[in-house]
Amino acid sequence: MNLKIKILLLALLPLILTSAAITWVTQKQAHDLFEQEIKTFEENLIATKKQQLRDYVSLANHAVENALSKLDEGVSQEEVEERVKTILHNLRYDTDGYFFAYRQDGVNVVHPPQPELVGQNLMDIKDSDGISLIKNLMAKAAEGGGFSRYKWVKPSVRYQEDKLSYVVNIRHLNWMIGTGLYLDDVTAEVEKIRKEVNRNIRGTFFTVLMILSGTIIIIILIGLAINVHESHQSERRLQEMAHRSLQVQVTQRRQFARELHDGINQLMVSIKLRVNLVRKKWDNEELAKEHLYKAAEMLDLAIQEVRRVSHDLRPILLDDLGLRAALDTLLTELKERSDVDVVSDIQLPDHHLPDTIEITLYRIVQESLTNIEKHAAASKVILKLWQDGEHVFLDLQDDGVGFDHLHRSEGIGLDNMRERAELLGGHFDLYTSPESGTRIRAVLNLALTSD
């Protein structure tokens, strides 16, 4: 084994080991991050369903309130119970939504999809996982109302599905009433996202593996063809590989952001529209509006959370409308929220800048505008953005109070902006004082980030 091969192996082994370690850590962190996001998404869906169940049970209570009031008018207990049974039996929503009722001894009195259960004592019934259904529901109702998760036969498919129910005790009759929503749609949606995420992670892993393999082959060929004096060329190729790896991550984030925006967000909006349509069919208009508004608020929170996740990964406006329109949107939103006078002068070529440049500029402006809105108390903001040869220049200033009134911990965003610029071979400068407000300037090098 000659000296050149030994030197080549000494160069390759650390590269392979380091790349493998970095790839493993990156993949693990990406997987953990996605699992956390999926868990948050699932929790938000469950929270929305819980609010729906509370609203449904509240509506049922109001529906039987008139019948219960007859007890005070001298109507017999048996007649009132029959009226309540009829009302609950006829209350339905969606395809599989119904209400059930039990006496405290576990005897079922209302069960529309399975009338054969009426009159049976189901206190000791258990689901396929061994959960005591009625006992748990009774305990939750005795606590003033609560949720229980178990498996029950779904009427539309006639086999057991995971179900979430909410129950309360009905006054005067000493009955437990409740309703439930099946969670198969939640499970299916979460599983769909998890499969897509795993597919993207595997794709990224194999892409990085291919890039690493190709780079190693190139290094071997170069090491065999040239002498040690030309090692600087190998270093440049390694830098190019690092940039390609960054480009792969940007592409992956874009795909995942579009999946969230076009899939999950549209589902949330559709649910909100459906809930709003129910308002037209309810008799008690004021009460119906009250509960509809509560449901709409919960849906708005879910939609905002999905949009936040999507926006954090990759702003959709950059792909759909370009950098200029995305920045104009940020400025317009700032003006609408705070009445700040906004002046912008954006002079960019018609073609798109490299993805890494666009996302860096967008994030710097976004973080700066957030700081201005929260802390600067500014009345005017001026944004200038232009390209000169191989460089892109950003100049953003305000006439606010500067940094004298800020806490030290609030400088993390500024460090992030500086790191974003320096990561792409650029630089970031900050000027601030109580008399002149705050001004940031950033310069990014296109030559080091070309696609």
The whole-angstrom separation of Cα 200 and Cα 26 is: 13
Nearest in space to 58 (alpha carbons), one of 280, 295, 269, 277 = 295
pLDDT digits over 191-238, tens only?
A: 888 888 788 877 877 887 788 777 777 777 776 666 545 555 556 655
State the pLDDT at residue 128. 86
Nearest in space to 161 (alpha carbons), one of 141, 176, 181, 140 = 181
Question: How much is the average pLDDT of 151-168?
Answer: 87
State the pLDDT at residue 201. 75
Asked if 369 and 408 touch (Cβ cutoff 8 Å), the reply is: no
| Residue with the two structure tokens 């959370």 | 305
pLDDT digits over 439-451, tens only?
A: 999 999 887 665 5
Question: How much is the average pLDDT of 404-419?
Answer: 61
Q: What is the mean pLDDT of the chain?
A: 80
| Residue with the two structure tokens 């606010």 | 400
For 306, counting Cβ atoms within 10 Å of its Cβ (0-12 exposed, 13-18 middle, 19+ buried), the class is buried
DSSP classification of residue 400: S
Question: How much is the average pLDDT of 395-413?
Answer: 68
State the pLDDT at residue 30. 76
The whole-angstrom separation of Cα 23 and Cα 20 is: 5
pLDDT at 298 over 50: yes
- Enter the tokens of residue 33: 């991050």
How many C-beta atoms surround the C-beta of residue 428 within 10 A? 19
> Percentage of the chain surpassing pLDDT 90?
23
First and final C-alpha spacing in the chain: 40
pLDDT at 245 over 60: no
Q: How confident is the model at residue 415 (pLDDT cuts 50, 70, 90)?
A: confident
pLDDT at 325 over 70: yes
The whole-angstrom separation of Cα 199 and Cα 180 is: 34
State the pLDDT at residue 393. 94
pLDDT digits over 94-112, tens only?
A: 888 899 999 999 999 999 9
Question: How much is the average pLDDT of 9-34?
Answer: 76
pTM passes above 0.75: no
| From 134-143, 161-170, 345-354, the region with the lowest mean pLDDT | 345-354
State the pLDDT at residue 278. 59
| Exposure letters 387-410 (e unless 16+ CB within 10 A, then b) | eeeeebebbbbbbbbbbeebeeee
> Percentage of the chain surpassing pLDDT 70?
75
pLDDT digits over 48-74, tens only?
A: 999 999 999 999 989 888 888 888 888
DSSP classification of residue 411: G
State the pLDDT at residue 407. 45
Q: How confident is the model at residue 34 (pLDDT cuts 50, 70, 90)?
A: confident
Question: How much is the average pLDDT of 152-171?
Answer: 86
- Write the DSSP assignment of 321-389 as a string of letters: T-HHHHHHHHHHHHHHHH--EEEEEEE--SSPPPHHHHHHHHHHHHHHHHHIIIII--SEEEEEEEEET
Asked if 430 and 399 touch (Cβ cutoff 8 Å), the reply is: no
DSSP classification of residue 258: H
Residue 124 or residue 304, greater confidence = 124
Q: Any bridge partners for residue 99, and if so which?
A: 179
- Phi and psi angles of residue 179, each rounded to the nearest 5 degrees, phi first: -150, 170
- Phi and psi angles of residue 377, each rounded to the nearest 5 degrees, phi first: 55, 45
pLDDT at 319 over 90: no
Question: How much is the average pLDDT of 121-129?
Answer: 90
State the pLDDT at residue 409. 42
Q: How confident is the model at residue 169 (pLDDT cuts 50, 70, 90)?
A: very high
Residue 114 or residue 239, greater confidence = 114
Domains and CATH numbers, the chain: 3-25+189-313 (no CATH), 76-182 (3.30.450.20), 316-448 (3.30.565.10)
Nearest in space to 381 (alpha carbons), one of 418, 351, 431, 344 = 344
Question: How much is the average pLDDT of 151-166?
Answer: 86
Residue 450 or residue 316, greater confidence = 316
pLDDT digits over 172-197, tens only?
A: 888 999 999 988 888 888 888 888 87
Q: How confident is the model at residue 418 (pLDDT cuts 50, 70, 90)?
A: confident
pLDDT at 241 over 60: no
